[in-house]
Chains A and B, each alone.
Chain A
Amino acid sequence: MGRKILLIEDDRETAGYLAKGLNQEGHSVEQATNGQDGLFRATDGSFDLIILDRMLPVLDGLSVLKALRAAHIDTPVLILSALASVGDRIEGLECGSDDYLVKPFSFAELLARVNALLRRREARIDPSDHRLTVGDLEIDPLSRSVKRAGKKLDLKPREYLLLEYFARNEGRVVTRTMLLEQVWDYHFDPGTNVIDVHVSRLRRKLDEGFEKPLLHTVRGAGYMLAA
C-alpha cells in the first residue's frame, strides 16, 4: 500500500533520513529543498500527503501552505517545525495544516502521524458504515455505546473518546502526543505520564477478563488498538 509523499525540507540530513525511512515503509517519496519548488510540485495535486518544513528558503512553509489551500488543493499536510511553542502549533494548524510535529521527533512518531493522515484520506474517499469494529469490539459513535463480545462496557466520556480515536486508527501506532492533541485538544507536552494513566485505565475496562488483549503498548512509540 505504497503512497506518494512529497517531502519539502531544506535540511539534507533530515530529508535523507525521512525519505529512507518512508521508502522502507513502502511509500514513494519525492523531495523539494525550498518552498517555491515545493509549492510548484505540490500544485499538481497528485500526492497523498505533503510533509512540509516550516522554515524554508525562498518561500516559508506557512506561505506554501496558504498558497496550496488558496488553490483548493486539499492534500493532507503535516508540518515539521523547530518552533515548539503552543502558539506556533496553533498558528500552523489554523493555516490549514492537518497535523503539526515539533522537531526533534522520533521516526516512530512521524510514521504514526503519516499513517493516521493517510488513513483519514482513505476514509474520506470511502465513507463506510458508521459502526466501528475491532475484533470482537463494537463501537457505535452515534449512541457512544461500546460492546465487547456482546457485553456492554461502561466508559467515562473521556475514555470513550480515547477508545474511538484508537479504533479509528486501528492497527496503527498512536503516540502520547497524538492522544493529547486529538482527544484533549491540548498542544503542550506534559511533564508527567498523565496520558499513560488514562490509557491504562481504559485498558483495564477494555481487556480485563478477556483472553486476548486489544490495546497494545508499542515500545518507544505509543499504543495500538488491534485484534
Chain B
Amino acid sequence: MLALLSNLAVIGFIDWRTNDDAVSTVRRQVLEQGKVLADVYRTGGKAALDDAVEDTMTYADPQTAIALLSSDRSELRGNVVSVPAAVFADPTGTHGYRNALIRLRGQTTPREAALVVQRLPNGQWLLSGRIAGEALTIRETLERSLFIALVLAGLLGLLCGVILAHYVGQRIGDIARVANRITARDLSQRVPVSRAGDAFDRLGGQINAMLDRISTLMEELRLLTDSLAHDLRSPVSRLRSAAQAAAEANDPEEQEEMLGSVIRQADSLMRILTAVLEISRSEALTGRKQFTWFDVGELAAELAEMYDPLVEERGAALEFDRPPRPVPLFGHRQLLAQAVSNLVENAIRYGSKGGEISVRVKPGERQIRIEVGDHGPGIPPERLPEARRRFGRLDSSRSDEGAGLGLALAEAIAHLHEGQLMLEDNQPGLLTALQLPVYSQQARAA
C-alpha cells in the first residue's frame, strides 16, 4: 500500500513537472515572438511588418502561426486559416496571451495553440503564436506511459503484498504455534530457524535463547526446590525430636537444654529459608538501586580480618594479600560481602583441615576475581560440572545442612552483577571464585 502511494506521488510529480516545463517554454517563446513583431512595426512601420510576416511564413518552422488581419478581421494575410472569434474578444492591451484552437494552412484539423493577439495602432490585428501540439503530444505520451506504469506498479505491489503477507503469516504462525505449545506446558519446543538469517530468524533465535534461559532457570529452580526439601527435612525432624524430648523431660535442667536445642534448630531452619529467599530475589535482579562504587580490596580485607580468628581457632591459617591499589567495583557491597563470606565459610567448613585458606582479589582489565581457596578434599574434576549446576547435593554424607545454599546464594549474587561463580581445582582442594565483569559496570555507571 505504501509502495503504491509513493509510486503515485513520483508519477504525479513527473507529470506536473513536464506539463509545467513544456507549457512555460512555449509561452515564453510566443511572448518573445509577439514582442519582436511589435518592435518591427514600431521601428519600420507597416511595410517592415508585412516583410516580417512574409519572412516568418516562408522560413519559420511549420508549427509557427502568424497572421495580420484588417480591423474588421475580413482581410487576412498569414498562414492561419481559421481562428475562433473569442480570441479577439477582450483585447487586453498589446500583449494578450491566450490559448485557442486554430487551423493553419495545409492542415485539416484545428489544433491547440498558444497565441499573442495584438491590436496595432492602425487598427489591424496582429496574431502570432505556436502550435503547442508538440509539447502536448509529449505530455500525452508521457501521461499514457505513466498510467501504464502506475497500473503495473499497483499490480506488482498487490502481488508482493500478497506474497509477503503469506510469508510473514507463515513465519509468525510458526512462532505462534511454538508459543501455544509452550503455553500448553511443553517448554522443550523451539522456533524453527531457517538459514536465511533474516529478521525472522533473528527473532526466532532470540526467542529460543530466551526459552533456553527460562528452561535453565526452571531446571535450577526445580533442583533448588528438591535440595531445599532435602535440606529442610533433616532439621525439621531434628527440631521435632528435640521438641518431643523437651516435652517428655522430667528434669528442668534437661528440659532447658532441650528447649535450647529446639531454638537452635529453628534458627537453622530460618537461615536456610532466608538464604533461599535471597537467592530468588537476587535472581530476579532486584536491589540494583543499591549499587554503589566501593573498593573490593577493602571489602576482602575486612572479611579476611573478620574470619581470621575463626580460621585460626579451627587450626588453619587465613592468608590474604591486599592489592596495593584500590580495586573499584560498582555493585551491591552488602550482597557481595555476603557472597564472599559464604565462600569463606564454605572453605572453613570443608577445607580447614587442609591447613591454609587463601583469600585473593585479582583485578583485571575485563574482570575482577575474588578467590577463596582451600586445601581440603576439594571436588574431583569430573564432578565439577555437576557441582556447578547446583551446589546442594554433592556430599550426601554431610551433616551441615544448608551449606550448599551458601554457594547457590553466592552464585545468584554473582549473576546479579552479571558475573559468575567459578569452581576450580586448587591442586589440591577447592578454589571458588566470584568472577565479576568490569566493563558493563563502568558502562552502567557512566
A residues whose Cβ falls under 8 Å from a Cβ of B: 84-87, 90-91, 102, 104, 106, 158, 184, 186-194, 197-198, 201, 219-220
Contact check, B337 vs A188: say whether CB atoms are below 8 A apart: yes
- A186/B337 in contact, CB under 8 A: yes
Chain A hits for B349, CB < 8 A: 192
B277 located at the interface, meaning its Cβ lies under 8 Å from any Cβ of chain A in the complex? yes
Write out the residue numbers on chain A whose beta carbons fall within 8 Å of the beta carbon of B348.
192
- Say whether B364 faces chain A, with CB atoms less than 8 Å apart: no
Q: Is the CB of B310 within 8 A of A189?
A: no
Q: Is the CB of B345 within 8 A of A192?
A: yes
B403 at the interface (CB under 8 A from A): yes
Q: Are A187 and B334 in contact (CB under 8 A)?
A: yes
In angstroms, how far is the closest chain B Cβ from the Cβ of A46? 34
Range of interface residues on chain B? 20 to 34
Contact of B310 among A85, A188, A193 (CB under 8 A): A193
Q: How far is the CA of A201 from the CA of B273 in the complex (A)?
A: 31
Q: Is the C-beta of B338 less than 8 angstroms from some C-beta in chain A?
A: yes
Cβ B306 vs Cβ A184 within 8 A: yes
How many Å from the CB of A122 to the closest CB on chain B?
Answer: 30
Determine how close the nearest CB of chain B comes to the CB of A84; give it in whole angstroms. 4
Pick from A104, A192, A193, A201: contact of B270, CB below 8 A. Answer: A104
Structural contact, A84 and B274, CB atoms closer than 8 A: yes
Closest to B279 in A: A85
Q: What is the bound-complex CA distance between A191 and B400, given in angstroms?
A: 10
Whether B263 contacts A220 by the Cβ 8 Å rule is yes
* Residues in chain A near residue B406, CB distance under 8 A: 191
- The answer to whether A220 and B310 touch across the interface, beta carbons within 8 angstroms, is no
Output the least CB separation between A127 and chain B (Å). 31
- Chain B residues within an 8 Å CB radius of A158: 305-306
* Residue of chain B at shortest CB distance from A158: B305
- Docked Cα-Cα span, A227 to B164, in Å, equals 89
Cβ contacts under 8 Å, A104 to chain B:
266, 270
B402 near A191: Cβ-Cβ < 8 Å = yes
Q: How many Å from the CB of A221 to the closest CB on chain B?
A: 11
CB distance from B268 to the nearest CB of A (A): 9
**Complex-state Cα separation, A111 to B154, whole angstroms:** 84
Other 4 A-B pairs with CB < 8 A, given A104-B270, A188-B337, A193-B310: A85-B281, A91-B290, A187-B334, A191-B345
- Cα distance A184–B348 in the bound complex, in angstroms: 20
CB neighbours (8 Å) of A184 from chain B are: 302, 306
Taking a contact as CB atoms closer than 8 A, the residue among B271, B309, B345 that contacts A197 in the complex is: B309
CB distance from B383 to the nearest CB of A (A): 23
Distance in angstroms from A220 CB to nearest chain B CB is 6
Q: Once the chains are docked, how many angstroms separate the CA of A193 from the CA of B306?
A: 11
Interface residue from B307, B309, B338, B342 paired with A201 (Cβ < 8 Å): B309
CB contact under 8 A between A102 and B402, given known A184-B306, A188-B337, A188-B338: no
A191, closest chain B residue (CB): B345
Residues A86 and B271 in contact, CB atoms below 8 Å apart: no
Decide yes or no whether B341 CB sits under 8 A from chain A. yes
Asked if residues B306 and A194 are in contact (CB atoms below 8 Å), the reply is yes
Which of A84, A197, A201 touches B277 (beta carbons < 8 Å)?
A84
Given A189-B274, A191-B345, A220-B263: A87 and B338 interface contact (C-beta under 8 Å): no
Shortest distance in angstroms between A173's beta carbon and chain B's nearest beta carbon?
Answer: 15
Assuming the contacts A106-B263, A192-B348, asked whether A85 and B307 have C-beta atoms less than 8 A apart, the reply is no
| Residues on the B chain within 8 Å of A219, using CB | 260
User: What 4 A-B pairs come out closest when comparing CB atoms?
Assistant: A87-B287, A84-B274, A188-B338, A197-B309
Query: B39: shortest Cβ distance to chain A, in Å?
Result: 93
Identify the closest chain B residue to A88 (Cβ).
B281
Interface mask (B429-444 → A, CB under 8 Å = 1, otherwise 0): 0000000000000000
Contacts of B338 in A (CB 8 A): 86, 186, 188
Chain B 337-375, CB-CB to A under 8 Å as 1, else 0, gives 110011001001100000000000000000000000000
